[in-house]
Chain A
Amino acid sequence: MTVLQSSHSQDQQILVQVSNMKKHFSISKGLIIERKVGSVKAVDGVSFLIQRGETLGLVGESGCGKTTVGRTLLGLYPATEGEIYIDNHNVRQARRDEMLTIRRKAQMIFQDPYASLNPRWTVNSIISEPLRVHKIFTSNKEKSERVQELLNLVSLSPRLVNRFPHEFSGGQRQRIGIARALASNPAFIVCDEPISALDVSIQAQVVNLLEDLQDQFNLTYLFIAHDLSMVRHICDRVAVMYLGVIVESAERNELYENPLHPYTQALLSAVPIPDPKKGRARSRIVLTGDVPSPINPPSGCRFHPRCPIAKDHCSIDVPEWRQITDDHWVACHEV
């Protein structure tokens, strides 16, 4: 798969640039002498650009490598191959000091608000951790003022600073996680399914909060999700992942109204429609079979064993990443 628009790398408008990023987890066997017997190709050549202030949605079914993309992008997992730039910092070659700068600029919000906060730490220590690590404030007074300010930003009462995470509900905990991510004034936040663990009634609140914060601080998001209607609501552009690769990417409305890749079409046909008449009228594309194993992905186009329109050459040739219209890219032989 080729790079999207590599000529734009020096563009000040582009905050995040990923080209041909791969992350393979090796599988080893043997008790005493470990040897590598294979690898899980969780992410196998992913390229995308994110402009300043925009939200890129990353969708796909469970196990397709969305979360791994987010974590590898931030350098939390060492990438196997490819280039990753965040605000012109090379993530893969950054040394200690530069890495700290990247950590300050690029933050993360986690899926599970129960596991992502240390149960032994108070809200105050959790939110002020980035302030301490990056030595943003020296005096304790400034630090606690900043923590209060952050709690206000996420609509939590500053009186709660000395509570422990288990005293909060899921939605409140997610707000604490958001406050922590905001503490170091980042430019870019990877939101790794930030709402999928929450009640539907709380989801809207958290999404609105994320949107307000984006407007207020000109934040850039990589929004990883599997709820397609929520993605349409919050994202400017959407990329669809299948088995470690991006199969289609387009501007939000273009993708939802004119999906080209058969996998995108199948995904979108599964989105519930609030109107039962329309819902019954439309045809649902049901994919057969399961997602193949990322240890041994299918040859050619990875989607061909489940694709309703697959031809013979789909199992041999890897489809090219082609530009269809201005901002609509797809990897499929039959489009």
Chain B
Amino acid sequence: MGQLVWRRFRRHKMAIFGAVTLILLFIYSIGGALIFPESYANFADTPLRLTAPNLQHPFGTDTIGRDVLARTIYGGQISLMIGMLAVLIEVVLGILVGALAGYYGGIVDSILMRITEAMLNIPEIFLLIVMAKFFGGEIPEVDLFGRTFSGSVIVIVLIIGLTSWMYLARIVRAQFLSLKENDFVLAARATGTSNFEIIFRHILPNSIAPIIVSATLGVANAILAEAYISFLGLGVQPPTATWGNMLDGANNYLESAPWLWFFPGLLILLTVLSINFLGDGLRDALDPHSRAA
């Protein structure tokens, strides 16, 4: 099983490119932190504001004189972390809603799916902005992994997670609807296995492939969503850097200081592109119907 998946994945050139690029991006944002301390990334050397890239500041400096290179490194950590944590919430919620709706059917299904559809009908950006405004007030700073984050990071993770589970829930529900008709589910019921075990030990492992694919692509969407709200100034609050909030204000310097948007923009582009390639590769590799090995 695992070998076959790996063989099919390896054939997918773009997916390999995506995986390698993602690893490099992780090395960049985690390894870079060993070279520059966080205080350097947040240090505003005001006289040097808007310096073009040079040897001292390879990516230039921003509007208040902070080093863009160091900020993309620390911003990368936050952006990637927001992406993964938000997807964690998305996956937990999506599996829970989809599994219960698909397995129990009937009224449970009707109620959960109407809620899901209602959530899908609200434009996502609108929902993100409203929730960011509503929850984004004064949130104390939090210490995590030995770093101090603006509390808005947690808020953003929750907001993105809570607004993105609907598609996954629908995928999981569809999987459960078809898998629960299998004889092995009936056999488990005849054995006396509890519904909880049937859902999580029998059916869920059989629907893991589409969940992995959807979660992978979800990371890209979460990073983009973070960039939207941070670009609008509602997301992660400075001085904590993210790729998204580094773009905030860069639109005023489109031509005079292109390095302000070029480097964070390029990193977002690379990340999202790589994740999408990786997701496509996983979809093909995990799909039992594609026998091209």
Question: Which A residues have a C-beta under 8 Å from some C-beta of B?
Answer: 71, 74, 76, 99-100, 103-104, 107-108, 110-112, 115-121, 129-130, 133-134, 164, 177, 180, 184
Contacts and interface: CB of A to CB of B under 8 A. Distances in A.
A71 B181 CA distance: 14
Contact of B183 (A116, A134, A164): A116
A116 B191 CA distance: 12
- Which of B1, B190, B193 is the most central at the interface, judged by chain A CB atoms within 10 Å of its CB? B190
Nearest to B185: A118
Size band of the interface chain B makes with A: 10 to 19
A99 to B, nearest CB: 7
B206 interface: yes
Contacts of A71: 186
A115 B206 CA distance: 13
A115 B182 contact: yes
Chain A's interface: helix, strand, loop or mixed, by majority? loop
Contacts of B197: 133
Contacts, number: 56
A103 B186 contact: no
Contact of A115 (B183, B193, B202): B183
B206 to A, nearest CB: 6
Contact of A108 (B182, B187, B193): B187
A251 B206 CA distance: 45
Contacts of A115: 182-184
Interface string B171-192: 0000000000011101111111
A149 to B, nearest CB: 18
23 contacts: A74-B190, A76-B189, A76-B190, A99-B192, A103-B190, A103-B191, A103-B192, A107-B190, A108-B190, A112-B183, A115-B182, A116-B183, A116-B184, A117-B184, A117-B187, A118-B188, A118-B206, A129-B188, A133-B191, A133-B193, A133-B194, A164-B1, A180-B187
B192 A110 contact: no
B286 to A, nearest CB: 13
B140 interface: no
Contacts of B194: 133
A118 B189 CA distance: 13
A27 B186 CA distance: 21
Contacts of B1: 164
